[in-house]
Amino acid sequence: MKQEVRDNFINRPDLSKNFLTDSFELPSIITSHLYAGDQPLVDLAQHGTRQTLIIHVHRDETERLLSGITEVLTNRTCVKKRRKDVEEFTIFRNETHCILNEGPVVKLIENREEEIGFGSPEILTCKAYEAIEQNAPNMIV
């Protein structure tokens, strides 16, 4: 029986725990962002089969960080107002810009919230390297 694959399921232990071992019929391609630390990559390295090919692509950290800040401030704070703390932001708008007060913006970046905090330092850890070394998965980085 084919398993249903939810988007970015690998980051949710309740969904990924037995995914690679519960079925003989796995999807031929699984894609996901990694944003739950190093554990999803460790799990893939430890539980993948010999036919599993892991392709890990990471971005330049500066570019990734700027993109994360833009995503959180623009789309989640200014446009959709999806953040729990959106009331802390004083939001001014003109025809082209969303202008925010500095304090909450600095706090958001400092706390590395949401996309701002998901990067290579949290994913490519010693634990991840050890799992890769011990299990020798087919992997392209």
Rounded to whole angstroms, how far apart are CA atoms 2 and 99? 48
> Lowest-confidence range among 25-29, 34-38, 69-73, 111-115?
25-29
Using the structure block, give the residue that is written with the tokens 């890769």.
132
Percent of the chain exceeding pLDDT 90 equals 3
Report residue 129 as tokens: 């390297």
Rounded to whole angstroms, how far apart are CA atoms 33 and 44? 13
Neighbours of 37 (CB within 10 A): 16
State pLDDT tens for residues 122-140: 888 899 889 889 988 888 8
- Answering whether pTM is above 0.75, one says no
Q: Is 1 helix (H, G, I), strand (E, B) or coil?
A: coil
Mean pLDDT computed over 57-80: 82
Q: Which of residues 57 and 88 earns the better pLDDT score?
A: 57
State pLDDT tens for residues 44-60: 888 777 777 888 887 78
The pLDDT of residue 1 is above 60: no
Rounded to whole angstroms, how far apart are CA atoms 119 and 60? 9
Give 78's pLDDT tier (boundaries 50, 70, 90).
confident
Average pLDDT across the chain, whole number: 78
pLDDT at 4: 60
